[in-house]
Amino acid sequence: MIKIEQLSKKYKSADTYSVADLDLHIAEKEIFGLLGPNGAGKTTLISLLCSLVKPTSGSFTIDNLTYKNSNKLKQRIGIVPQEYALYPSLTAYENLAYFGSMYGLKGNALKQKINNAIDILGLSRFAHKKVSTFSGGMKRRINLIASILHDPKVLFLDEPTVGVDVQSKNVIIKYLQALNKAGTTIVYTSHHLNEAEKFCTTVAIIDHGKIITQGQPQELVSNQENANNLEDVFLALTGKALRDHA
């Protein structure tokens, strides 16, 4: 589904590559976890795949489309950004209707999709309330719905459960699993390694813009000496030094 070849990105102001000669294949219907410390290149890689930033070199295809087929590609992918990316003064329904319309959805079809999604994610009661009054968890769920109304083939999620309560996290993960069952390939970044271990079918650990290991979570744990879980693998491969960057 996603083929990345020798993909690199170096920002003008940076001294080093955020993504460096990265090769990666993600199969269809996979839940692919992209894990790494701060500044490892996770968000840059997702931004590259979503055509938000231009690669310095290399190429990628998603469902056999490149960024040159921009509108077709955008129609097949969905992105759940780290930020809420919603209009606070609009209601949940108005936000979703607007973003759905941007994918060409309209009328009853759009209405039905919105109602189904907000029902599954437990937001029906709040559909006509302003987003500014929502808790972090509620905003995260609306943020997710805004990205899947057009039934994307690939869904990118940049830390979708950051700052949400356990209940919201549970609902979000279950919903994503249902989407995946229905055929959506999921690419997900997170710092919650326990969550990733349970949720992902494949994970890749990225550091300094390169994939340093890749495989099924259990496989990675068993291959790493003295590792009991994914967190042990992660620390063994990326080290314990702080990764502050500005």
Partner 1 sequence: MHKLWASTYKEFLLLTRDIGGIAILFVMPIVLIITITIIQDSSFKTIGNNKIPILLVDNDNGSVSKTIYDGLKSSNSFTIIKKQQEHKAKDLVFKGEYQLAIIIPKELSTDLKKKVDQNVEGILEKFGVEEETEEISPKETIPHKEVKLYFDPATQITFKNSVKNGIDKMISKIETQSIYKAFQEQISDDESEVLFKTDNFITFKEIMPRQGNKEIMPNSVQHNVPAWTLFAIFFIIVPLSINIVKEKNQGTFVRLRTNPVSYATVLGGKTAVYLAVCMIQFIIMLLIGVYIFPKLGLPELEISGRLFNLFIVAFFAGLAAIGLGLLLGTIAKTQEQSAPFGATFVVILAALGGVWVPVFAMPKFMQIVSNISPMNWGLNAFYDVFLRNASIIEIVPEIILLLLFFIITVLISIVYNEKKHAV
Candidates 79, 118, 121, 172: give the one binding partner 1 (CB under 8 A).
79
* 9 Cβ contact list (under 8 Å, min separation 6): 17, 18, 19, 41, 44, 48, 53, 55, 56, 209
Distance CA 184, CA 173 (A): 14
103 or 208: CB nearest partner 1:
103
70 touching partner 1, by CB under 8 A: yes
Min separation Cβ 85 and partner 1, Å? 4
Q: Which stretch binds partner 1 (CB under 8 A): 18-26, 29-37, 93-101, 174-182?
A: 93-101
Tokens 């469902």 sit at which residue? 63
Q: Please give the C-alpha separations between residue 98 and each of 101, 109, 172, in angstroms, as whole numbers.
A: 5, 14, 22
Distance from first CA to last CA of the chain, Å, rounded?
34
Which stretch, 22-30, 37-45, 72-80, 194-202, contacts partner 1 (CB under 8 A)? 72-80
Minimum CB separation from partner 1 for residue 222, in Å?
Answer: 37
By the rule CB under 8 A, 227 interacts with partner 1:
no
Minimum CB distance to partner 1 smaller for 37 or for 81:
81
* Residue span binding partner 1 (CB under 8 A) among the ranges 7-15, 33-41, 71-79, 197-205: 71-79
Which phi and psi angles does 54 have, rounded to 5°?
-90, 135
Query: Per CB under 8 A, does 71 bind partner 1?
Result: yes
127 binding partner 1? (CB under 8 A): no
Strands 77-80 and 57-62: unpaired
Q: Is the dihedral of CA 219, 184, 26, 166 positive or negative?
A: negative
* Residues of this chain, 13-52, that bind partner 1 according to CB under 8 A: 50-52
- Judged by CB under 8 A, the residue of 61, 90, 120, 232 near partner 1 is 90
The span from the CA of 27 to the CA of 73, in Å, is 17
What is the Cα–Cα distance from 2 to 61, expressed in whole angstroms?
A: 6
The site for partner 1 (CB under 8 A) is made up of 50-54, 67, 70-72, 74-75, 77-79, 81, 83-90, 94, 97-99, 101-104, 106, 130, 146-147
